[in-house]
Amino acid sequence: MSEKIFSLLSGIIFGVGLVLSGMTNPEKVIGFLSITHNWDASLIFVMGGAIIVTAPFFYILRNRNRSSLGFDIKLPKKIDLDKKLIIGSSLFGIGWGLVGLCPGPAVSSIALLEPITLIFLLAMLVGILTSKYI
Amino acid sequence: MYNFTPISALTGGIIIGCAVVLYFYTTGRLAGISGIFANTFTSKVNRSSNILFLLGLVLGPLGYFYFSKTHVNFEITNSYFLIIIAGFLVGFGTRMGGGCTSGHGICGISRISVRSIIATVTFIFTGMLTVFILQQYGIYL
């Protein structure tokens, strides 16, 4: 039960952070990706701010194999740089650059009551289901 | 620099980092949103927790707007064609590449995962290239 409460709480905190960071506005993301014209470096500060918090914690917790609630800690084991990683990330970047939305802000923008994001999320789901066939 | 908001960006980023730490410390899982979103629809494992995390992603901003009595801008293309293509590529690409801005960009980089560093450099590069090309056609200014 408490695992569900902490999942909800983590989502709430993550969502507040996204809104405060400005990244729920696709225009801000496009501003960051627009390296040659009116560049807006804010996104680097969002990622940097998150990483200065998470990096020390992941380091401290690196040898633990159980979470505080007793769940197995699951970390990605893959280390090879395969084609899927590069092609998949390239395609994600193209989609990200087309409209300025990635999965987190796309979900959070439901709170902004913008119907257009529901179409994005539906298309994203179709993409996810399609990826099962490759 | 244009529209640069380093203070709010850093503050928001630190709060996002706290969420990632809390989620990992309690559940033992990485807060990669593309994975949580995909698993909600494709896997029965931890389904209710995944749904609750996504619900939180919506409730957090709603609560913030309610208590701060503020609103934020939302400016996006009005082309449904672009939205649909972009959504598909984001869904397909993040699953094929195993993560998005949160999973690779925050969790992966802070774990010093070489795969995530390469993935992040790749999607930022193709994102910048895409915006550059769109700008040549006058879609973004």
**CA separation, residue B88 to residues A101, A128, B14 (Å):** 12, 8, 30
Asked if residues A93 and B48 have their Cβ atoms less than 8 Å apart, the reply is no
Cα Rg, chain A, nearest whole Å = 17
Q: Is ipTM beyond 0.90?
A: yes
- Quote the Cα angle for A43-A47-A48, to 5°: 110
Cα separation, B102 vs B82, whole angstroms: 23
Quick one: pLDDT at residue B29?
Answer: 96
Q: What is the DSSP letter of A73?
A: P
**CA separation, residue B128 to residues A30, B34, B121 (Å):** 8, 20, 11
Given a cut of 70, is residue B74 above it in pLDDT? yes
What are the pLDDT digits (tens) for B44-69?
A: 999 999 999 999 999 999 999 999 99
What are the pLDDT digits (tens) for B126-141?
A: 999 999 999 999 887 6
Task: Give the confidence band of A77 by pLDDT, cuts at 50, 70, 90.
Answer: confident
Task: Give the confidence band of A56 by pLDDT, cuts at 50, 70, 90.
Answer: very high
Measured between beta carbons, the chain A residues lying within 8 angstroms of B86 are 95-96, 98-99, 101, 120, 123
CA neighbor of A127 nearest in space, from B41, B140, B102, B104: B41
Selecting from B19, B97, B119 the residue whose C-beta is nearest the C-beta of A17 gives B19
CA neighbor of B128 nearest in space, from A29, A49, A84: A29
Can you tell me which residue has the tokens 């769940």? A71
Task: Give the confidence band of B1 by pLDDT, cuts at 50, 70, 90.
Answer: low
**Residue B27, amino acid:** T
B41–A46 CB contact, under 8 Å: no
What are the pLDDT digits (tens) for A84-118?
A: 999 999 999 999 999 999 999 999 999 999 889 99
User: Which residues 44-103 on chain B approach chain A with CB closer than 8 angstroms?
Assistant: 48-50, 52-65, 72-78, 80, 82-98, 100-102
Quick one: pLDDT at residue B2?
Answer: 76
Can you tell me which residue has the tokens 């389904």? B47
Given a cut of 80, is residue A1 above it in pLDDT? no
Measured between beta carbons, the chain A residues lying within 8 angstroms of B85 are 95, 98, 123
- Quote the Cα angle for A19-A20-A26, to 5°: 50
H-helix segments, B1-141: 6-27, 33-42, 47-68, 80-97, 109-110, 114-136
Q: Which of B1, B2, B15 to mutate to test the interface with A (most CBs of A within 10 A)?
A: B15
CA neighbor of B9 nearest in space, from A95, A52, A9: A52
**CA separation, residue B73 to residues A24, A39, A77, A118, B117 (Å):** 8, 18, 39, 17, 30
Measured between beta carbons, the chain B residues lying within 8 angstroms of A51 are 13, 17, 106, 109-110
Measured between beta carbons, the chain A residues lying within 8 angstroms of B120 are 89
Selecting from A25, A37, A107 the residue whose C-beta is nearest the C-beta of B54 gives A107
Measured between beta carbons, the chain A residues lying within 8 angstroms of B18 are 13, 17, 53
Cα separation, A120 vs A6, whole angstroms: 28
Cα separation, B48 vs B34, whole angstroms: 16
Residue A115: CB atoms within 10 Å: 7
Asked if residues A52 and B106 have their Cβ atoms less than 8 Å apart, the reply is no
Q: Which of B1, B23, B27 to mutate to test the interface with A (most CBs of A within 10 A)?
A: B27
